[in-house]
A and B are shown apart, each in its own frame.
Chain A
Amino acid sequence: MDREMDNNYENISYEVIENIAYIGFGKNKQKAMPVLDEKTLFELKKCIEKIKNFREDDAISGVIFFSHKDGVFLAGADINLIDSLKSEEECKAGSSKGQEIFNLIEDLPLPTIACIDGICLGGGLELALACKKILASNSPSTSLGLPEVQLGILPGFGGTYRLPLRIGIPNALDLILTGKKVNAFKAKSLGLVVEVFPKERLLDMALKFLTKKKANNSVLKSIENLAIDNFIARKLIFQKAREATLKETKGFYQAPMKILELLENTAGKKRQYALNAEAEAFAKLAMSEQSKRLREIFFLIDKSKKYLGPIEMRDPLPLSRGVVLGAGTMGGGIAWLMADHGMRPVMKDITIDALELGLKQSSANFWRSVKKKKMSYDDFEKKQRSISTQLGYDGFKKAHLIVEAVVENMDLKKKVFAEVEEFVTSDCIIASNTSSLSVTEMAAAFKDSSRFLGLHFFNPVHRMPLVEIITHDKVSPLVVKTVHQWCNKIKKTPIIVKDGPGFLVNRILAPYLNEASYLYEEGVSVADIDNAALAFGMPMGPFRLMDEVGIDVGVKVGKILHHALGERMRPSPFVFKVFESGALGKKSNLGFYRYDEDGKSCGMNNFVVENGPSKFKNMAEQDIQWRLLLPMINEAAIILDEGIVGTAGDVDLGLIMGIGLPPFRGGLLKYADSEGIASIVEKMDKYASEVSVDRYQTCKYLRDLVEKQQRFYDV
């Protein structure tokens, strides 16, 4: 029989053509991405067992794995699978079950090849590693990696055993510890992939490779392997890796350390020993609180990609050409973003000097990629030159999206909007990158305010993943939906937020920064405060952050929020003093800290020291942390009460993506939940009497939670 199809499977296809078995994933093309869920694994096992039995009468001479789905080989194991496991024992059993199936593949006395076109991550790559050879397509979407560490776990289907064998310990550590993805060519140079072909040729070439003998390792490779394969060298490698990892994670993350421990323990050991150790380590991590939190964040990010704003049945409009108004730091950054995503933006300002500033910003962003060899000079030139500078309004008629980033001045912005609207087509979307002004008030400047919304990028644009999409009563749902989709396309994390002072992130950030200054006035040193924040896992302390943001900006936003929200938002008088002394933060080389020409920190600003508290006091690190966090939690509760965002998850995602709140904490409100709302309120009440009635006045939302014995995430 030349051709035999087996339709007994739902998730995978199985076909034998001229004695070669073809196993295809993603048979059900409706599903977004093929993953290794329980059913797929089960069917896979049945399939392999069948081939094993066939083998005995010599009916099959090779096995080829591939995917029907364009752009995805296998996106990994189903993460929901982990959540369904209830104990370490169950986890270990689950891991072992997967390992056994992959062992079956590895043990087939037949040539086996995985043909990878598109994404091949986690369990997908572990499956490919169980094959004798991997071929990959040169499609831009092809990427291989083991990203489990990002979810606080480790590869549990034999990846930690097979990857070091295939590409050596140092390279394997690099991939498993960082979770980074590599493209087909990099994978080939690592030795992970045997050869790279256009996707249309993969299956044909696989047939040739089935019979091809494995090439001998090069002499250099053998020497390298020999060098690594001794006890002392290995010790050194792991020691170095441990140091680098600790520096990166500051010791906050368990998974990387566990991975190091596991790989060091299993290096050079037999398969069964290594796999057993892997399953045990996997189970420990999967059951940990930290991994649970990281997985929840993964789901939050995933959810943010789905449009859940005002209901709109129409498809979003394509936004293929952009305009940026105002060529400052933000304008230049947004122009860069548009240029990088092929929108050939027009950048408009009122002087050539201003335009050059924007070009400089965008060039600096591109140049970083050129220096890291992530972008060729030709691509840089093409993209940077795709920004068309304008003093007038030429090109606005052809724009689909205009983002305004002029000075934060309501009257000026309104004037600009009224003017701009004269030069655009009726379906052009106009957005303001305001960080603090009322979007509702701006909307009034438009003839057609349904085309307008707030689109708040965070500074610096190239580093901060969060974008707040700010709605108002008159905005068209189609506009919100379109902009939301665009944010996904440009690889930002969007959150839809209702208009209100400071929107979401800045409004929660303000009490944190205020409280830091109050603490300093009380006599807690800047170093103690910043260190307490670092110890909590923040990427930088509040004073460092104020210097980065700019003290002038902080003062301006602080005033607006105080005015709009009342006494609980009153900024500390000390910040005004520092601002009036002319210290604007890092950009003026003087903020709370001093900076040298290159922007490196070199001690405190003398003014801050001289005008600071006369006597310093010691405060326990935890107390400092609570003083900083409680007003944030309280403000977040008020925000939920007002319906600015829908869920506690939105708040947490915003703070993680917007100000770098540590992911391992699961977010601010997740942290509050884990500490217990009752205990939060108790601490609030204590500080209300000891420190400030205004700033620590527990809001109704929090008290209601206590009364109903609910947590933020229960609502």
Chain B
Amino acid sequence: MNDVFIVDANRTPQAKAGLDFKNVAAPFLGIPLLRHIMDKVEIPDDGIDEVIIGNIGTPAKYPNISRVIALDAGLHEKTSAYTVNRNCASGMEAVSQGFLKIKTGRASVVLAGGVESMSQMPLIFNRDMTELFSKLMSAKTLPDRIKALAAFRPYYLSPVIAIEQGLTDPFSGLNMGQTAELLARELNITREEQDIFANESHKKATIAWESNRIADEVVPIIAGSKLEKLITKDIGYRSNSSVEGLAKMKPYFDKKSGTVTVGNSCPITDGGSMLLLANEESVKKYNLRPMAKVIDYFFGGLAPERMGMGPLIAMNGLLERTAKKIEDVDLFEINEAFAAQVLAVLRGMKDGKVASRFGINRVWGEIPYEKLNVNGGAIALGHPVGSTGSRLICSLAHELRRRRGKYGVASLCIGGGQGGAVLIENLL
């Protein structure tokens, strides 16, 4: 089995949907990343075996967005490229598949990442209108056509918002926020705990950007109505965030008695991330300097309505597979879909009673606060769904490098009731 090295990793700034990247189509959140990576190394344009990109809001214009990114970024036309979808973990799925391919010798150099333009997720005609269109198109004669048109009612025009549908679980019928409410209720996670957690996320992101320490993982992206501006920083974290301020916000998903607010959830966001993976032979061949090594990954499932507990399932599986303990790990990046959900995961790791409710009979212990999401998480930085999985690994690899740490875990919950986790080892 080959070792799998992370040679480079970068990401776009992340901007709340509808803001600075609202006109940036999804491929353009990946092309500059790929180019910047390729510009740093001496791998020829035809030296990439596979480009794997995670994306869930497949733009109608780009059914296989990975191939679009690969070609437009200047890779050779013979380069294989495909797009993967594992909902919130699509970027992590891309990295995992790249890992497997290299591990098993099917590929030597892989670019893996994710892109998501949640601003540009489509509005869809509802079922009645779609029906009308199809009848209209199959109508052969003028009277048939008039008849088909006569069926029209104004409400046919009310669109289905794709993003809203995507964030609702088709089995339980709960939307993602409601699954967080469920965990908060069942594990008694208070509103105040959630707001404090959310506030910390903003504080950590603010410090990270004020000192510019995370600028080195970000590639500036061209934006603006005439494409004349460069966006260099994440947009959406609040430097003036306070627990008091967050406490004033109304619950969004359970308006009467809930605890989950827009403030202690992650915002809908646009962004992309990219990793260059290579085997040892290629590292030598192209004189590369790897920053980290991918050790292993794990995906597992649970009840869709408690999807927020996914990281518990995934980290349990990953640590078991790799025979690591919490103490071995220097940094954790656990995606902050909702404060309630991360707090529930942390509870599950240290509390055997909670863990056992999810079929885990092992107490892993407390994940120390100073090792978790040290530069802020999705509550402050946002959650571009298809990208977050690889974004977490990118941020993790860079932060391990900055602190000269050894092992790091990236994990996230996945809409539909799954969790994913990846273990990497810093080499710098």
Contacts and interface: CB of A to CB of B under 8 A. Distances in A.
Contact of B229 (A344, A356, A394, A395): A356
B31 A359 contact: no
Interface in A347-392: 352, 355-356, 359-360, 363-364, 367, 380-382, 384-385, 387-390
Interface size band for A: 20 to 34
Given A344-B74, A385-B222, A363 B39 contact: no
B255 interface: no
A381 B227 contact: yes
B140 interface: no
B365 interface: no
Nearest to B39: A395
Interface residues of B, number: 20
B39 A367 contact: no
Contact of B230 (A352, A394, A395, A398): A352
Given A388-B36, A388-B39, A359 B220 contact: no
A364 B224 CA distance: 13
Contacts of B36: 388, 394
- SS class, residues of chain B in contact with chain A: mixed
Contacts of A388: 32, 35-36, 39
A388 B37 CA distance: 12
Nearest to A398: B39
B285 interface: no
Interface in B105-153: none
Interface in B179-233: 220, 222, 226-230, 232
A337 B128 CA distance: 50
Nearest to A320: B74
A356 B224 CA distance: 11
B297 interface: no
A624 interface: no
B228 A363 contact: yes
A359 B42 CA distance: 27
Interface string A650-686: 0000000000000000000000000000000000000
Contacts of B220: 352, 355, 389
A397 interface: yes
B39 A359 contact: no
Interface in B26-45: 28, 31-32, 35-36, 38-40, 42
Given A385-B28, A388-B32, A388-B39, A359 B222 contact: yes
Nearest to B35: A388
B384 to A, nearest CB: 18
Given A352-B232, A385-B32, A363 B226 contact: yes
A488 B42 CA distance: 30
B72 interface: yes
A397 B74 contact: no
A344 B75 CA distance: 12
B322 to A, nearest CB: 34
A363 B227 CA distance: 7
A346 interface: yes
Nearest to B227: A384
A381 to B, nearest CB: 7
Contacts of A387: 222
Q: Which of B31, B40, B228 has the most CB of A within 10 A?
A: B228
Nearest to A396: B39
Interface in B396-410: none
Contacts of B228: 356, 359-360, 363-364
Given A389-B220, A389-B222, A359 B230 contact: yes
Interface string B56-74: 0000000000000000101
A537 B34 CA distance: 52
Contacts of B230: 352, 355-356, 359, 389
Nearest to A321: B74
Contacts of B32: 385, 388
Interface string B274-304: 0000000000000000000000000000000
A387 B220 CA distance: 12
A381 B224 CA distance: 11
Contacts of B226: 360, 363-364, 367
A397 B227 CA distance: 26
B173 to A, nearest CB: 39
Contacts of A380: 227
A479 B219 CA distance: 34
Interface in A309-365: 344, 346, 352, 355-356, 359-360, 363-364
Q: Which of A356, A380, A385, A387 has the most CB of B within 10 A?
A: A385
Contact of B222 (A384, A390, A394): A384
A604 B28 CA distance: 48
Interface in A284-301: none
Nearest to A391: B220
Contacts of A389: 220, 222, 230
Contacts of B229: 356, 359
A362 B25 CA distance: 20
Interface in B9-53: 25, 28, 31-32, 35-36, 38-40, 42
Interface string A536-575: 0000000000000000000000000000000000000000
Contact of B39 (A355, A360, A394): A394
A397 B286 CA distance: 13
Contacts of A346: 39
A673 B46 CA distance: 58
Given A384-B222, A385-B31, A389-B222, A359 B227 contact: yes
Nearest to A386: B72
A380 B222 CA distance: 13
Q: Which of A355, A388, A395 has the most CB of B within 10 A?
A: A388
Contacts of A381: 25, 28, 227
Q: Which of A352, A364, A384, A389 has the most CB of B within 10 A?
A: A389
Nearest to B44: A398
A676 B38 CA distance: 62
Interface string A695-706: 000000000000
A394 B40 CA distance: 5
B13 to A, nearest CB: 12
A381 B25 CA distance: 10
Interface in A90-143: none
Contacts of A398: 38-39
A398 B36 CA distance: 12
A546 to B, nearest CB: 29
A382 B227 CA distance: 10
Contacts of A385: 28, 31-32, 222, 227
A356 B35 CA distance: 19
Nearest to A367: B226
A397 B222 contact: no
Interface in B343-379: none
Interface in A498-523: none
Contacts of A352: 220, 230, 232
A366 to B, nearest CB: 8
A132 B417 CA distance: 71
Contacts of A355: 220, 230
B119 to A, nearest CB: 15
A324 B230 CA distance: 17
A390 B42 CA distance: 17
A384 B229 CA distance: 11
Given A352-B220, A360-B228, A382 B72 contact: yes
26 contacts: A344-B35, A344-B74, A346-B39, A352-B232, A356-B229, A356-B230, A359-B228, A364-B226, A364-B228, A367-B226, A381-B227, A382-B72, A384-B222, A384-B227, A385-B31, A385-B227, A387-B222, A388-B36, A389-B220, A389-B222, A390-B39, A394-B39, A395-B35, A395-B39, A397-B42, A398-B38
The 9 closest A-B pairs by CB, nearest first: A395-B39, A394-B39, A360-B228, A363-B228, A384-B227, A363-B226, A394-B40, A359-B228, A363-B227
Given A352-B230, A389-B230, 8 more contacts: A344-B74, A352-B232, A356-B229, A380-B227, A385-B227, A394-B39, A394-B40, A397-B39
